[in-house]
Amino acid sequence: METPHPKSNPSERGMPQGDRVREFLEQYRFVIARSRESRYRAYALRHKVFREELRYALGEDTGTPFEKDAHDKHSILCLLHHTGSDRDAGCLRVVLPIGNDGQPRSLPLEESCAHGLTDPQLHPDRFEHSSLCEVSRLAVHPDFRRTRDCALGLRENDLQLLEENRLLPPSPLVTLSLFLAATAIVGLAGRRHVFAMMEPRFARLLKISGLEFRRVGDVIDYCGPRAAYYIDQHQAERGLQSSLRPLYRHIKTSLAPQMLGAAHT
């Protein structure tokens, strides 16, 4: 059963004061998917976005409406739930390369995109497995996206409009909050060295937000043009834009009680 999430209080000290941010905190909550039911909700959302909409050949058991693979067994899955409609707006996973049996495992990108890992200093095999993880399968339901041309649906000018507090829904905070949640989960799981496969244009957009991923591989064709990126979780927390830090603290505080034991399930 999921740990109950405390209701957001927009007047809480240190909480962002923009109207859109307050609305976001009132309408959305993060849930660590621990139960079978909640994990299959994440798989169903991934199936809808990656397979049905974007036509990516991902996961196993392609005849089922659930996109999942072997790495999900040793991953922390997280859902972003829209409370008003009782629907899941987004999801992500943090893959831990040590399974429940304690044996080291490869990161997904080491298996599927090994030829694209070209930085000799920032390669997964340069780090202790216990400090490594990979963020992947970030997806936003099309009804909660700013644009439908990618699984995350965010454009550079959305960030400027957000700063000016003049955006109409859906909020770009849906997408940005998934990356903030991933950063928090990585830290709460005791990991530091984070890898991800993403489009270069999205890495540039995240840099504007203060999440400065470093490209560590060539751009290859992997569900479109993508490259391997790396970020140090400690630096990610320090580098966040000041306007996002209160939101990040709120997300991290809400996830902390749900994370107890999650890295070992």
DSSP state of 217: B
* Inter-residue contact 108 to 135 (CB < 8 Å): no
- Whether pLDDT at 18 is above 70: no
pLDDT, one tens digit per residue, over 136-162 is 999 999 888 866 665 566 655 555 555
- Whether pLDDT at 17 is above 50: no
Q: What's the pLDDT at 149?
A: 61
* CA pair distance 189, 51, nearest whole angstrom: 29
Of 23-27, 69-73, 199-203, the range with the lowest mean pLDDT is 23-27
* CA pair distance 262, 233, nearest whole angstrom: 18
Q: Which residues contact 5 (CB under 8 A, 6 or more apart)?
A: 29, 30, 31, 254, 258
Tokens, residue 47: 């199936």
Q: What's the pLDDT at 13?
A: 37
The SS3 call for residue 143 is helix
Q: What's the pLDDT at 201?
A: 87
Average pLDDT over residues 64-86: 95
pLDDT, one tens digit per residue, over 200-242 is 988 988 888 889 999 999 999 998 899 999 999 999 999 998 8
Q: Whole-model pTM?
A: 0.86
Q: Are strands 132-140 and 87-95 parallel, antiparallel or unpaired?
A: antiparallel
Q: How confident is the model at residue 1 (pLDDT cuts 50, 70, 90)?
A: very low
More confident residue, 9 or 126: 126
- Whether pLDDT at 265 is above 50: no
- Whether pLDDT at 93 is above 60: yes
CATH topology for 19-96+107-255? Answer: Aminopeptidase (3.40.630)
Average pLDDT over residues 31-52: 96
Q: What's the pLDDT at 99?
A: 64
The pLDDT mean for the chain works out to: 84
243: Cα separation from own chain's centroid: 19
- Whether pLDDT at 7 is above 50: no
Q: What's the pLDDT at 158?
A: 56
- Whether pLDDT at 58 is above 90: yes
- Whether pLDDT at 191 is above 80: yes
The gap between the terminal CA atoms of the chain, to the nearest Å, is 13
pLDDT, one tens digit per residue, over 121-132 is 999 999 999 999
Q: Which residues contact 88 (CB under 8 A, 6 or more apart)?
A: 41, 42, 45, 79, 80, 81, 82, 141
Q: How confident is the model at residue 68 (pLDDT cuts 50, 70, 90)?
A: very high
